[in-house]
Amino acid sequence: MKPILKAWRKQQAFVENASHELRTPLTIIQNSLENMFTHPNHTVIDESENIAQALNETRRLTGLTTDLLTIARSDANEQTLDLALTDIGPFINEVTKPFF
């Protein structure tokens, strides 16, 4: 019974973490969009920061849901890995850009 309880606790913790990770970008998107309604006469240019933030969080949600599907498929032994070499240079540049 202990292994079952341990697995149940791990699953609960995972669901709580996943829920939090999904809720955060949704809240940011919602706030960005609601903020645009407070300025109905603004142009797209005026609201470009809110739009960009919503788009970034949408991309984040897409990544999170893709990761969740990958986990679900791997748990069901349906996932196969397509290994390929990847140039991480652009990723490193993007991540470190705010620090320069």
What are the mean pLDDT values of the chain's consecutive 10-residue runs (100 residues total)? 82 83 89 91 92 91 87 69 85 84
> Which pLDDT belongs to residue 80?
65
- Kindly report the pTM of this predicted structure: 0.59
> Which pLDDT belongs to residue 4?
84
45-80: string of b/e by CB count within 10 Å (b at 16+)? eebeebeebbeebeebbeeeeeeeeeeeeeeeeeee
Residue 71 backbone zone (phi > 0: left; psi -120 to 50: alpha; other: beta) = alpha
Structural tokens at position 29: 């998107």
Query: In which residue are the tokens 């791990």 written?
Result: 10
Cα radius of gyration rounded to whole Å, the chain: 19
> Which pLDDT belongs to residue 3?
83
> Which pLDDT belongs to residue 77?
67
